[in-house]
Amino acid sequence: MTGAAPYKSVLTHGFTVDAKGRKMSKSLGNVIAPQKIMNSLGADILRLWVAATDYRTEMNVSDEILKRMADAYRRMRNTARFLLANLNGFDPASDKLEFGRMLALDQWAVTRAQQLQEELRDAYNRYEFHLVYQKIHHFCAVDLGSFYLDIIKDRQYTLQASSAARRSAQTAMYHIVEALARWLAPVLSFTAEDIWKHIPGERSESVFLETLYEFPETSGQQFSQDEWALIIAVRESVSKELEGLRSSGGIGSALDAEIDLYCDDALLTLLAKFDDELRFVLITSYARVHSVNEKPAEAVEVTQKDQLALWVVVKACEHAKCDRCWHHREDVGVNSDHPKLCGRCVENIIGDGESRKFA
């Protein structure tokens, strides 16, 4: 009638088939009704399955596939729950720190989220919803779950509530959950709205009245993203050695261990910047760095990345265990009033509190 199509673009999709690629048929008994999925798993799981599937080909669905979607959903939802739980008592109007005052690790987390948002913007614009799902899930499971959130638990649970280092972590989590709710909204609509209503601070009535989050200016980081990639690679390699010691019964957890790292000059310079805080990144009671020229015969080579070699010696720590932070430290019991606590925990309880620069 008008000589023009009544739409800007058209998406085509394949048929919905079962796990074996067969079309849905009552005679085959392989029909999975959408209403049944919503009644048993919830509408967001059904929406996530649609988004996670590359619609340009046939779309497989089965109880097993939906179970995997439910597991992936729980990972993202539980990440949001952790972020919100650790923002208890945080008022962004008074407690949020400027980017330049944040610890190096928290700067990395905010910058990584900002980079991811641009990737998601591009994927949404190209209707590649399966990439949106993959990237958000990877961010929650790997960048946050296996790295960032694992490290900041010590700060959240052992430092003074209003310390700058703890507020730094909360500031990062605040920025991340503000963005996460918006990222999820087009797909996990009900979950995103639920997250939105529990984020601290004044906000609009609904996440669907918002646009993508405006992150703070992230210039002036203490470490580059390439340096953090190397640090993450070191941590992953060290974790494998710690897991081997744990599996053999040598330690119960990573905090029962101490580690010596022997590396070339470039990696040594990078890791040495963390000083005593390297142990928080590796989640061990002690972490010391040395020149590769000093490595003993028992040192194990664990990684080779960008021609930066690393050898480690991992062993159980012989010092007493602090009842509060669970680190094994030589100063446990030095304070007679707190015979089962390490020095930093005593400082965090009755002193001015410890300070952190990096992690």
CATH number at residue 290: 3.30.2320.20
How many structural domains compose the chain? 2
Cα–Cα distances in angstroms (integers) from residue 93 to residues 97, 132, 202, 203, in the given order: 10, 31, 9, 12
CB 348 within 8 A of CB 354: yes
DSSP symbol at 205: S
Same domain? For 178 and 237 the reply is: no
pLDDT class of 230 with cuts at 50, 70, 90: very high
Contacts for 10 with CB less than 8 Å, ≥ 6 apart: none
pLDDT in tens, 258-293: 999 999 999 999 999 999 999 999 999 999 999 999
Strands 16-17 and 59-60: parallel
CB 339 within 8 A of CB 347: no
Same domain? For 235 and 177 the reply is: no
Residue 57 located in a structural domain: no
Would you give the end-to-end CA distance of the chain in angstroms?
64
Same domain? For 167 and 243 the reply is: no
CB 251 within 8 A of CB 257: yes
Q: Could you tell me which of 236, 257, 233, 232 has the C-alpha nearest to residue 245?
A: 257
Q: How far apart are CA 270 and CA 267, in angstroms?
A: 5
Strands 300-305 and 308-316: antiparallel
Among 156, 173, 207, identify where a domain stops: 207
Residue 104 located in a structural domain: yes
Domain with 274, as residue range(s), is: 231-318
Same domain? For 200 and 85 the reply is: yes
Domain containing 97 — which CATH number?
A: 1.10.730.20
Query: Does residue 304 carry a pLDDT above 70?
Result: no
Among 175, 207, 239, identify where a domain stops: 207
Q: How far apart are CA 315 and CA 125, in angstroms?
A: 50
Residue 323 located in a structural domain: no
Report the pLDDT value the prediction gives residue 79, as an integer from 0 to 100: 99
Contacts for 226 with CB less than 8 Å, ≥ 6 apart: none
Residue 166 located in a structural domain: yes
Query: Does residue 55 carry a pLDDT above 90?
Result: no
pLDDT class of 97 with cuts at 50, 70, 90: very high
